[in-house]
A = this chain, B = another copy of it.
Amino acid sequence: MKSAAKNKQRNIKLVIEYDGTNYCGWQTQKNQPSIQETITKALSKITGQEITLYGAGRTDSGVHATGQVANFFTTATLTPFQFLRAINSSLPDDIVIRSVKEVPSSFNARVNARSKVYRYTLLKSSIPSALNRNYSYFVPYKLSLERMKKCVGYLIGRHNFRAFATKSSNKEDCYRTIYSIKITRKGDYIYIDVRGNGFLYNMVRTIVGTILLAGYGKIKPADIKGIIKSADRNKAGPPAPPQGLCLMKLNY
């Protein structure tokens, strides 16, 4: 009995913060350091086992996270607190495990996520920032916050977001639901907080890029209705650059 209990597969959930500046993104790629690979290597070292890490969402190179979620299976007998300390000791300091929890074997970080929250940070100023250069998108242009806020109503709800997906095949289901978009200003910074049930590749950055077009006055907020309807990637704005984006939270 004791031996069987010891060898029981446990499902471990991680909440992860990372600075994406020096990585090729979440997903493991050949010859480039990724967040997934870096954490997987640390876990394999700690457990002495080959670990597969399931992430809730892929993030691109330069995109950050304060609340990425991932899970993995192991028979290692460490307590969650021991895991937390051991993993953080093995990781470089631009990746931090914020919490470790044992979860039912049915839990899957990606499949079970009910909603995801992303924040996009704009620096609206005539002068860039040295300290926030990797964590915001510098916008020295004239920008109407009012027009940006008027875009929100056209984006919320269940829509075919094909026009906002960089790499979507015609076969792919591009229907997603956006629950809320909040645009707030604090000093020189504008935050765009987007909550949805899931996002296509580059979708949040393309939504921000399209909201910016409206903010610049290049399109009207009401044009977004037609852009969604067109399902044509060429109609939406260019994706805003990665360093302004941060995966804030996964809800289960």
Contact = CB atoms under 8 A, between A and B. Distances in A.
B96 A19 contact: no
A185 interface: no
B130 A95 contact: yes
A98 B132 CA distance: 14
A172 interface: no
A128 interface: yes
Nearest to A98: B127
Contacts of A135: 131
A96 B18 contact: no
Contacts of A97: 127
Chain multiplicity (copies): 2
A7 interface: no
Contacts of A93: 128, 130, 133
Q: How large is the interface on A (under 10, 10 to 19, 20 to 34, 35 or more residues)?
A: 20 to 34
A232 interface: no
Contacts of A99: 127
B130 A94 contact: yes
Interface string A121-138: 000000111110101000
A17 B64 contact: no
A66 interface: yes
The 3 closest A-B pairs by CB, nearest first: A96-B130, A17-B130, A19-B130
A88 interface: yes
Nearest to A246: B131
A84 to B, nearest CB: 8
A131 B64 contact: yes
A96 B129 contact: yes
Most B-side CB within 10 Å, residue of A18, A130, A133: A130
Given A93-B128, A96-B130, A131-B135, 14 more contacts: A17-B129, A17-B130, A17-B131, A18-B130, A18-B131, A64-B131, A84-B127, A88-B127, A88-B128, A93-B130, A94-B130, A95-B130, A96-B127, A97-B127
A131 B19 contact: yes
A88 B84 CA distance: 42
A66 B18 CA distance: 24
